[in-house]
């Protein structure tokens, strides 16, 4: 497979999953992006073993706890989702095996740092790469195609705070409580609030708060380019490790 050339737009967690898949399969690749690591907040982890190994790495059990109802959870964040969408409330079992996203991402970012071309990529450059290489886009689509239609849900994430037990994610569908999700994973803590609360003083005055646009869907499309990752596809509910398996399938399909 060494004759395949892969271009990866972005250098966040999804991009590093693709780079890791290329490295495992002996495929030449190049990353294009700012060259600075992405900040990871909220209840995120890898849902499967993608074959990364370093000292101290081991899977843990993540426990899910739920307060209130799924309908209350949906109403708190979205109001009402379209019929073809659903929340993650019922997506996961009470206990799941998990791998530390932040640690694995930092390891892969350092490993592949010299493979990053530190540039701000334009749509024209992405199209050109797509014509001559197997190209994946993990960069946020609005940065490349600002005129497309994007549906988002804005949330406020308070980092460094949580009353959840270690290795636990709590979903909250109780309308009496303002937050909707709380997590404590590998000592990384966060509390997530609907965007309605982002203007409240206790959030706006806290430097640890990040306001995030969570993708729902878009009509954006880039010919000859594989859209990958939640922001690169601009799609709700996309897991980081999906990019790894997506890359393996694309590499195999591109092999002579």
The confidence band for 10, taking pLDDT boundaries of 50, 70 and 90, is very high
pLDDT (0 to 100) of residue 82 = 78
pLDDT (0 to 100) of residue 199 = 62
Report yes or no: 247 and 17 within 8 Å, Cβ to Cβ: yes
Mean pLDDT of 238-250: 97
Closest by CA to 253, choosing from 21, 31, 32, 30, is 21
Mean pLDDT of 95-103: 96
Q: What is the pLDDT of residues 49-77, one digit of tens each?
A: 999 999 999 999 999 999 999 999 999 88
pLDDT (0 to 100) of residue 154 = 86
Biggest alpha carbon–alpha carbon distance for the chain: 59
- Is it the case that residue 1 has pLDDT exceeding 60? no
The confidence band for 201, taking pLDDT boundaries of 50, 70 and 90, is low
User: Which tokens go with 24?
Assistant: 């495992």
**What is the distance between the terminal CA atoms of the chain, rounded to a whole angstrom?**
8
- Is it the case that residue 174 has pLDDT exceeding 80? yes
For the domain made up of 1-59+99-148+219-256, give the CATH fold.
Rossmann fold (3.40.50)
Q: What is the pLDDT of residues 16-30, one digit of tens each?
A: 999 999 999 999 999
- Is it the case that residue 113 has pLDDT exceeding 70? yes
Among residues of the chain, what percentage have pLDDT more than 90?
80
Mean pLDDT of 177-205: 83
pLDDT (0 to 100) of residue 218 = 97
Among residues of the chain, what percentage have pLDDT more than 70?
96
Q: What is the mean pLDDT of the chain?
A: 93
Domain segments of the chain: what residues?
Answer: 1-59+99-148+219-256, 61-97+150-215
Q: What is the pLDDT of residues 146-164, one digit of tens each?
A: 999 999 988 889 999 999 9
């Amino acid at each position: 497979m060494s004759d395949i050339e892969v271009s990866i737009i972005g250098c966040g967690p999804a991009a590093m999953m693709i780079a890791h898949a290329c490295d495992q399969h002996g495929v030449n690749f190049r990353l294009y992006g700012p060259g600075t690591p992405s900040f990871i907040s909220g209840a995120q982890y890898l849902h499967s073993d993608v074959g990364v190994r370093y000292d101290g790495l081991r899977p843990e059990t993540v426990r899910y706890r739920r307060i209130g109802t799924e309908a209350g959870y949906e109403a708190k964040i979205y109001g009402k989702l379209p019929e073809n969408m659903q929340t993650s409330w019922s997506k996961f079992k009470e206990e799941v095996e998990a791998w530390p996203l932040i640690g694995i991402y930092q390891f892969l970012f350092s490993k592949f740092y010299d493979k990053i071309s530190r540039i701000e990529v334009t749509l024209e450059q992405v199209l050109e790469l797509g014509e001559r290489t197997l190209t994946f886009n993990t960069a946020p689509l609005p940065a490349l195609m600002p005129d497309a239609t994007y549906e988002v849900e804005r949330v406020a994430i308070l980092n460094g705070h949580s009353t959840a037990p270690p290795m636990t994610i709590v979903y909250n569908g109780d309308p009496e409580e303002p937050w909707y999700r709380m997590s404590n994973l590998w000592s990384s803590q966060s509390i997530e609030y609907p965007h309605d609360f982002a203007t409240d003083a206790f959030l706006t005055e806290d430097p640890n708060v990040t306001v995030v646009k969570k993708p729902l869907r878009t009509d954006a499309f880039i010919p000859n380019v594989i859209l990958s990752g939640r922001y690169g596809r601009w799609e709700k509910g996309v897991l980081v490790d999906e990019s790894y398996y997506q890359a393996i399938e694309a590499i195999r399909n591109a092999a002579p």
